[in-house]
């Protein structure tokens, strides 16, 4: 099953129950006291792996296993009990560590899957089990003492904690002479494991909390509290955390009579923790201290029925409230300790760690439920007051200091917890919503990132909670405003989880209150999936929501005031796209209105504001440009004039590339013929200087923006003088200027004006000609040149014969063909592949263009000679089988395009049909799966492509590419290429016959490919590797029986071992050595091979001699 499908699949039942039970029974059937064999170990590990996989598959829907839990867990727990009983009765018995570990691992996964409270219910819990579990965990040399068996210790501790809940007297297990022995043993077992990190500490804490809650051991709790105070004063972090866990569990589940006597000791403990710098610096200590305080406070207040309200809609659309209220005594006295505890909890709300803040928020809300209404209202006021601690009157949320993040987050979480429980009165709603309107946009830049996403998430949580417990009447005055807030956050927040949270809050209000305008329709456009992809939320969902007038103006204001001023460049660019699409809904009204607002930011001291404003103006101008009319042309001129507002020193500053690129884009989209003709009297007289600065800028994105501005200019006037100047200035300039020149020459509109086309074409050919002094040294510049050639040919295609002669076109083919041999290497790797990919795409594009207009080219055969076409296709095939996946992928795509292209509409059109096209169609386009499979997948490609060696015209280039893939270091290329070539060779006849290719011819072609290039290791090593593969697969064993076979093998041996003592490349020497050794098995050349072996034994490199000895052995 596909991995993505499996991940998103929802189950209706535990479908893999039988498979799970079978695997579990296999594990439980083994003998835990016998060591498994290797085969048994592998089989048991496979069963364990299968169980873990099924656990993971159902982790998100763990409740589906509930009907089966008893039948699943009981046998596992019973197996543990049986094992423990045997260990206790036979102390010296040796058990299998791996099998016991798998049993414990299975129990631990059940607990992790469904929680220890659920799973421990199915553990054995008879009175007799106490001695078994206790004696087992106390065995001096038992399996629980091994460090690796932490899962076993955790399971036994939970088992003991369950047994401790049985109401029997522990003294029944004591010896008559040693009263309290069993209780002492349990207490020691728990205390000894409180200072361990991990699950053992949690198991020990659970055990001790249930132990001290027993009636017959409560008196021991006094000494435990005294001991815990001693522990806290010693500042032992791990032990302190364990003790705090015990106290928190006991205060939660113990009896009120037992705990109220220790209230002062608990408060003393919390003070001790706060005063210890070591303990106070630990997050878990602060979390459990906060939890302890809140639970102590709950014990001080009498329990009351919740006052929470649940708002819901019935199927007939009516809104109803379900309110549950208890008999609340509003005049009841509140203990003095509550004030102190609340003060501490409010302080924890501002803690630096989220877990502490959330614990405090839940504690405050739970306590407020038990307080009188006036008191709980004061608590809410105090929470709202936290928002104002770091706020300045009249300042926006963006002026808030970074330190306010924790405070705002804590206050938001506390507000949400209060709202969930129906503790927000209608009178407090306006104040709360006022702060939430700021919290939803809490985003403060801090260095290279921003903080505040947790505040925004918590604010959405508050609004979601309010929908579940508030009266629709009290919400009605705020509904429209709240809907606008939520929609803007759901669409335009930077973080995916915030957008989803706001969408969920919007959905909750639509479902429960039905107050939001067009709620169902807007919810459909901003659902969980629609807002999950940021680009979709900005460019698709936002314009759809803006169709509703109630939201349009607010969304536009949000984009202008927040998104286009965001610190993240991507956000500003997406915001500009979103603004354009919203404006296109009513461009006549919104276009200039939004543009005028954006013009106000062009003089800002913040470069982000300037860039965002320019990007927005580009979008609006592009919208006007798309909807052509005289009025829109006038509006474009108005937008063009806004460029003059931006100070020149800002646009032309060396480090303001984003602003410069946006300014060039704005020129490209808004420049008109009138502005060009006005020259220095233009509304932006320095626009040419901006474009020129962009062309000279070092960043490619800025260069492309400036080139786009030049393209717009070239469509309006003849730019021949500018082109001549650029070629003269940039051709021999810096590398970035060379790249810029190539970008620019490729985008000019040569159909509108010539722009010195002949000079441009000659410049491009000279820039990539290896024999020219004007050749560009930069690999990026050469790549850009090769990308430009097909662009300008496509540009002049309607008037091709006017611009290009047949000789010029052939010169372009020669240049692109020579680029296929660019294997430039630097510290970045094979950068020549950039050029090769550009040439592959360029050649395919030119061929398609020429075929399409072939009827209008009088002498088509001179522009694209058939022989030249087939030779280039052969070289493209070579690139399609070489070692780089991305090069193969692009080549395959281009070749398949050529296969599908119709032949030129000229006489004798069959001359341009690709040789072996029927075979190619059968191999690569046989079905839909082939068409969709990528040529980068070597396992799919190489078994098919080797069959093309039967096509004589493409044989030599194709074989060269295959040999390079055989020598690749990447296994995903080397293995399929090698196996495919060997399989193909094994299927060839020994001598030539009607099939068209033979093994002798294959050997001839391989030897011929290296005969004149024996000094090149890059060529020799892959060929020698190929022959070694053939020899090791016995492909060449029959050559000695043919007439010319022995001579071929002798020639191979001579080439491989020639001047071997002078060779310095160890890999080549090793491959040559393998050739000599492998040929020993062939009788016709065995004598010659044995004579050549002496050269390797006397080689000056010791490594070669050693490897040769190993090979011969």
Question: Within 13 Å, how many C-alpha atoms sit on residue 674's CB side?
Answer: 11
The whole-number pLDDT of residue 6 equals 42
Contact status, residue 1009 vs residue 959, Cβ threshold 8 Å: yes
Q: Look at residue 488 and tell me whether its pLDDT is greater than 60.
A: yes
DSSP string, 506-521: HHHHHHHT--STTHHH
Q: For residue 301, which phi and psi values (nearest 5 degrees)?
A: -100, 145
**pLDDT tens digits for range 867-924:** 999 999 999 999 999 989 999 999 999 999 999 999 999 988 899 999 988 888 888 8
Cβ contacts of residue 343 below 8 Å, gap of 6+? Answer: none
C-alpha span between 411 and 385 (Å, rounded): 9
Cβ contacts of residue 279 below 8 Å, gap of 6+? Answer: 232, 235, 237, 240, 273, 285
Nearest to 44 by CA among 113, 119, 105, 108: 105
Per-residue HEC secondary structure of 914-928 comes to: CCCHHHHHHHHCCCH
Q: Hey, is 861 helix, strand or coil?
A: helix
**pLDDT tens digits for range 759-807:** 999 999 999 998 888 889 889 999 999 999 999 999 998 888 889 999 9
CA 903, chain centre distance (Å): 44
Q: What is the DSSP letter of 562?
A: T
Tell me which of 1077 and 487 has the higher pLDDT: 487
Q: Report in angstroms the alpha-carbon separations of 578 from 277, 575, 587, 621.
A: 51, 5, 13, 14
Res. 930 pLDDT band, cuts 50 70 90 = low
DSSP string, 1004-1032: HHHHHHHHT-TT-HHHHHHHHHHHHHHHH
In the predicted model, what is the mean pLDDT of residues 1059-1087? 80
Burial of 484 (0-12, 13-18, 19+ CB in 10 A): buried
Nearest to 847 by CA among 914, 788, 799: 914
Contact status, residue 363 vs residue 293, Cβ threshold 8 Å: yes
In the predicted model, what is the mean pLDDT of residues 425-431? 92
C-alpha span between 748 and 726 (Å, rounded): 13
Angle at alpha carbon of residue 650, lines to 647 and 656, rounded to 5°: 155
In the predicted model, what is the mean pLDDT of residues 14-20? 92
Report the 10 Å Cβ neighbour count for 1023. Answer: 25
**pLDDT tens digits for range 608-661:** 999 999 999 999 999 999 988 888 888 999 999 999 999 999 999 988 999 999
- Alpha helix (H) ranges present in 36-120? 38-57, 69-89, 97-114, 116-119
C-alpha span between 572 and 556 (Å, rounded): 13
Dihedral of the CA atoms 26, 29, 33, 37 (nearest 10)? -40
Nearest to 656 by CA among 621, 616, 622, 705: 705
C-alpha span between 363 and 293 (Å, rounded): 8
The whole-number pLDDT of residue 377 equals 92
Cβ contacts of residue 751 below 8 Å, gap of 6+? Answer: 795, 796, 798, 799
DSSP string, 636-647: HHHHHHGGGGS-
Contact status, residue 232 vs residue 279, Cβ threshold 8 Å: yes
Q: Look at residue 731 and tell me whether its pLDDT is greater than 90.
A: no
Angle at alpha carbon of residue 320, lines to 317 and 325, rounded to 5°: 165
Beta strands in 703-848 (DSSP E): none
Cβ contacts of residue 692 below 8 Å, gap of 6+? Answer: 706
Q: Report in angstroms the alpha-carbon separations of 466 from 235, 435, 462, 534.
A: 42, 14, 6, 27
The whole-number pLDDT of residue 206 equals 92
C-alpha span between 1091 and 1054 (Å, rounded): 12
Q: Report in angstroms the alpha-carbon separations of 1075 from 432, 966, 977, 1081.
A: 83, 16, 20, 11
Cβ contacts of residue 921 below 8 Å, gap of 6+? Answer: 899
Q: Look at residue 399 and tell me whether its pLDDT is greater than 70.
A: no
Q: Report in angstroms the alpha-carbon separations of 914 from 668, 724, 897, 900, 907.
A: 42, 41, 12, 11, 16
Which residues are bridge partners to 445 per DSSP? 450
Cβ contacts of residue 1017 below 8 Å, gap of 6+? Answer: 1065, 1067, 1068
C-alpha span between 977 and 965 (Å, rounded): 6
C-alpha span between 312 and 430 (Å, rounded): 22
Cβ contacts of residue 753 below 8 Å, gap of 6+? Answer: 714, 717, 718, 719, 720
Contact status, residue 985 vs residue 999, Cβ threshold 8 Å: yes
C-alpha span between 534 and 557 (Å, rounded): 19
The distance in angstroms from the start CA to the end CA of the chain is 47
C-alpha span between 1046 and 900 (Å, rounded): 45
In the predicted model, what is the mean pLDDT of residues 274-301? 92
The whole-number pLDDT of residue 228 equals 92
Report the range of poorest mean pLDDT among 103-117, 309-323, 512-526: 309-323
The whole-number pLDDT of residue 4 equals 40
The whole-number pLDDT of residue 318 equals 58
**pLDDT tens digits for range 700-727:** 999 999 999 999 999 999 999 999 999 9
The whole-number pLDDT of residue 7 equals 43
The whole-number pLDDT of residue 709 equals 94
Tell me which of 491 and 392 has the higher pLDDT: 491
Q: Look at residue 167 and tell me whether its pLDDT is greater than 90.
A: no
Beta strands in 1050-1105 (DSSP E): none
Nearest to 766 by CA among 736, 722, 800, 811: 811
Report the 10 Å Cβ neighbour count for 193. Answer: 22
The whole-number pLDDT of residue 986 equals 87
Provide the mean pLDDT of the chain: 87
In the predicted model, what is the mean pLDDT of residues 41-65? 92
Percent of the chain with pLDDT over 70: 93
Q: Look at residue 1106 and tell me whether its pLDDT is greater than 90.
A: no
Q: Hey, is 697 helix, strand or coil?
A: coil
C-alpha span between 755 and 717 (Å, rounded): 9
The whole-number pLDDT of residue 3 equals 39
The whole-number pLDDT of residue 1109 equals 47
Angle at alpha carbon of residue 750, lines to 748 and 753, rounded to 5°: 110
Nearest to 617 by CA among 641, 639, 644: 639
**pLDDT tens digits for range 288-328:** 999 999 999 998 888 765 555 555 554 455 555 555 455 45
C-beta pairs of 620-629 under 8 Å, 24+ apart in sequence: 620/579, 620/580, 620/583, 620/591, 620/594, 620/595, 621/666, 621/669, 621/670, 622/580, 622/669, 623/580, 623/583, 623/584, 623/587, 623/591, 624/587, 624/591, 624/670, 625/669, 625/670, 627/587
Q: Residue written as tokens 């929501």?
A: 545
C-alpha span between 180 and 413 (Å, rounded): 47
In the predicted model, what is the mean pLDDT of residues 251-264? 84
For the record, the structure tokens of 528 come out as 């969980």
Q: Is the dihedral of CA 529, 532, 536, 542 positive or negative?
A: positive
pTM of the model: 0.83
């Amino acid at each position: 099953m596909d991995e993505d499908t499996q991940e998103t699949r929802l189950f209706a039942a535990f479908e893999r129950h039988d498979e799970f039970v079978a695997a579990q029974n296999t594990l439980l059937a083994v003998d835990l006291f016998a060591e498994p064999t290797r085969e048994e170990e592998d089989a048991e590990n496979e069963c364990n792996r299968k169980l873990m996989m099924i656990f993971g598959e159902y982790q998100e829907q763990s409740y589906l296993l509930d009907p089966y839990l008893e039948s699943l867990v009981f046998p596992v727990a019973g197996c543990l009990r049986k094992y423990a009983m045997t260990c206790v009765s036979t102390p010296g018995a040796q058990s299998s560590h791996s099998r016991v570990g798998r049993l414990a691992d299975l129990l631990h996964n059940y607990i992790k899957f469904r929680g220890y409270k659920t799973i421990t219910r199915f553990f054995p819990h008879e009175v007799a089990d106490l001695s078994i579990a206790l004696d087992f965990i106390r065995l001096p040399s038992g399996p629980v003492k091994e460090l690796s068996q932490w899962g076993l210790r955790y399971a036994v501790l939970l088992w003991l904690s369950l047994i401790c809940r049985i109401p029997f007297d522990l003294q029944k297990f004591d010896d008559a002479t040693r009263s309290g022995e069993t209780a002492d043993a349990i207490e020691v077992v728990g205390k000894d494991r409180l200072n361990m990190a991990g699950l053992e500490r949690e198991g020990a804490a659970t055990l001790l909390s249930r132990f001290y809650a027993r009636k017959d051991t409560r008196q021991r709790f006094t000494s435990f509290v005294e001991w815990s105070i001693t522990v806290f004063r010693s500042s032992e972090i791990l032990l302190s955390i364990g003790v705090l866990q015990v106290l928190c569990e006991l205060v939660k589940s113990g009896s009120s009579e037992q705990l109220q006597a220790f209230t002062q000791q608990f408060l003393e403990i919390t003070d001790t923790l706060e005063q210890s710098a070591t303990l106070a610096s630990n997050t878990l200590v602060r979390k459990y201290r906060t939890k302890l305080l809140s639970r102590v406070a709950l014990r001080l207040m009498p329990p009351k029925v919740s006052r929470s309200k649940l708002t819901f809609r019935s199927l007939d659309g009516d809104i109803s409230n379900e309110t549950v209220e208890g008999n609340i005594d509003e005049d009841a006295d509140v203990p003095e300790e509550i004030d102190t505890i609340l003060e501490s909890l409010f302080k924890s709300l501002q803690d630096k760690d989220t877990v502490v803040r959330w614990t405090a928020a839940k504690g405050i809300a739970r306590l407020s439920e038990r307080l009188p209404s006036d008191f709980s209202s004061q608590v809410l006021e105090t929470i709202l007051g936290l928002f104002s601690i770091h706020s300045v009157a009249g300042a926006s949320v963006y002026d808030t200091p970074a330190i306010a993040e924790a405070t705002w987050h804590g206050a938001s979480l506390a507000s949400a917890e209060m709202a969930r429980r129906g503790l927000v009165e209608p009178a407090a709603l306006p104040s709360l919503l006022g702060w939430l309107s700021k919290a939803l946009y809490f985003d403060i830049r801090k260095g290279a990132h921003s903080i505040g996403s947790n505040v925004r998430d918590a604010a959405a949580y508050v609004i979601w909670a309010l929908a579940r417990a508030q009266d629709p009447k009290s919400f009605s005055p705020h509904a429209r405003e709240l809907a606008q807030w939520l929609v803007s956050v759901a669409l335009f927040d930077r973080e995916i989880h915030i957008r989803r949270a706001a969408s969920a809050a919007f959905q909750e209000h639509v479902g429960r209150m039905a107050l939001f305008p067009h709620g169902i329709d807007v919810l459909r456009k901003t659902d969980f999936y629609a807002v999950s992809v940021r680009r979709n939320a900005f460019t698709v969902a936002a314009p759809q929501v803006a169709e509703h007038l109630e939201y349009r103006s607010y969304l536009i204001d949000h984009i202008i005031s927040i998104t286009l001023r965001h610190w993240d460049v991507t956000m500003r660019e997406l915001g500009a796209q979103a603004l354009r699409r919203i404006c296109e809904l009513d461009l006549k009204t919104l276009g200039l209105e939004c543009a005028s607002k954006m013009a106000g930011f062009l003089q800002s001291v913040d470069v982000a504001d300037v860039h965002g404003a320019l990007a927005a103006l580009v979008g609006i101008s592009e919208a006007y440009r798309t909807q052509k009319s005289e009025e829109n042309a006038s509006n474009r001129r108005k937008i063009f004039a806004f460029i003059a507002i931006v100070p020149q020193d800002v646009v032309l500053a060396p480090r303001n590339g984003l602003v410069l690129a946006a300014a060039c884009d704005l020129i490209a989209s808004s420049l008109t013929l009138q502005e060009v003709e006005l020259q220095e009297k233009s509304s932006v007289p320095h626009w040419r200087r901006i474009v020129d600065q962009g062309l000279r800028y070092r960043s490619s994105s800025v260069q492309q923006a400036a080139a786009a501005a030049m393209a717009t200019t070239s469509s309006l006037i003849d730019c021949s003088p500018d082109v001549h100047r650029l070629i003269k200035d940039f051709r021999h300039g810096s590398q970035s200027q060379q790249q810029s020149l190539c970008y620019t020459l490729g985008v000019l509109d040569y159909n509108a004006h010539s722009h010195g086309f002949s000079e441009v074409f000659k410049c491009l050919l000279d820039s990539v000609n290896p024999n020219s002094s004007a050749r560009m040294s930069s690999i990026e510049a050469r790549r850009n040149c090769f990308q430009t050639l097909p662009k300008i040919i496509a540009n002049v295609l309607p008037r091709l014969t006017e611009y290009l002669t047949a000789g010029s076109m052939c010169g372009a083919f020669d240049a692109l063909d020579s680029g296929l041999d660019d294997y430039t290497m630097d510290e970045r790797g094979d950068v020549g592949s950039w050029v090769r990919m550009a040439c592959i795409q360029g050649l395919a594009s030119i061929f398609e263009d020429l075929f399409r207009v072939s009827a209008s080219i009088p002498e088509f055969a001179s522009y694209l000679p058939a022989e030249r076409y087939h030779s280039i296709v052969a070289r493209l095939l070579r690139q399609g089988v070489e070692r780089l996946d991305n090069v193969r992928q692009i080549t395959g795509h281009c070749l398949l395009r050529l296969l599908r292209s119709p032949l030129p509409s000229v006489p004798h059109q069959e001359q341009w049909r690709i040789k072996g096209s029927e075979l190619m169609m059968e191999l690569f386009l046989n079905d839909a799966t082939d068409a969709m499979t990528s040529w980068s997948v070597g396992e799919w490609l190489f078994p098919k492509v080797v069959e093309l060696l039967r096509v004589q015209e493409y044989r030599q280039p194709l074989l060269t590419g295959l040999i390079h893939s055989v020598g690749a270091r990447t296994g995903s290329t080397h293995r399929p290429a090698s196996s495919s070539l060997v399989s193909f060779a094994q299927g060839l006849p020994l001598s030539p016959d009607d099939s068209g290719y033979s093994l002798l011819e294959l050997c001839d072609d391989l030897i011929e490919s290296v005969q004149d290039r024996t000094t090149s290791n890059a060529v020799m090593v892959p060929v020698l590797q190929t022959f070694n593969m053939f020899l090791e697969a016995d492909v060449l064993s029959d050559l000695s029986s043919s007439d010319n076979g022995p001579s071929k093998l002798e020639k191979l041996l001579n080439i491989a071992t020639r001047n071997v003592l002078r060779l310095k490349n160890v890999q080549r020497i090793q491959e040559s050595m393998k050739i000599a050794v492998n040929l020993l098995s062939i009788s016709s050349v065995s004598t010659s091979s044995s004579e050549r072996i002496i050269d390797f034994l006397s080689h000056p490199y010791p490594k070669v001699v050693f490897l040769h000895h190993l090979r011969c052995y």
